[in-house]
Amino acid sequence: WGGGAGGRERREGGGQNSEGCRRFVGISGPYNILKLIPFMQARGLPKNVLNALVAGDPLKQSPACRVLDLSPHAVSFLPKVSLFHGTADATVPHAQTVEFAMALERAGGRAETVKLYE
């Protein structure tokens, strides 16, 4: 979610216009770590381990939370987003993908596709 300087520039509006971005391949992971903590605790992973993985700040490391803090100007630089998730995923609930799409739209972004696979 933009941990490097290039991501910071794009978030702050220093990158190219989002229409110039033709393709992007992302990686998987949870979109809301704060909501994931109880889910993972129920599977035996201690809360302190999860907190250590996100440097003690799950909100700061959660794209679904961070996108809501972006300025409208910064959001205007986000490209259209297509989201995909398997419904049988036992690590991250597929509801996180749907919720992230809604957060993007609330922030003014564009979640073009949300596809859930069986």
pLDDT for position 66: 92
Residue keyed to tokens 């201690």: 46
Q: At what angle do helices 33-41 and 95-107 cross, to 10 degrees?
A: 160
- Cα 17 to the center of its chain, rounded Å: 20
Residuewise pLDDT in 10s, the chain (118 residues) = 433 334 433 444 445 555 666 666 676 788 998 898 899 899 998 888 888 888 878 888 899 999 999 999 999 998 888 899 999 988 899 999 999 999 999 999 998 878 888 8
> For residue 71, which phi and psi values (nearest 5 degrees)?
-70, 155
pLDDT for position 6: 40
pLDDT for position 7: 40
State the burial class of residue 25 (Cβ atoms within 10 Å of its Cβ: 0-12, 13-18, 19+): exposed
pLDDT for position 18: 59
Of residues 54, 34, 46, 47, the one with CA closest to residue 99: 34
pLDDT for position 101: 93
**Tokens at residue 70, please?**
């972006």
**Tokens at residue 100, please?**
């992230």
pLDDT for position 4: 35
Strands (E), the chain: 81-86, 111-117
State the burial class of residue 77 (Cβ atoms within 10 Å of its Cβ: 0-12, 13-18, 19+): buried
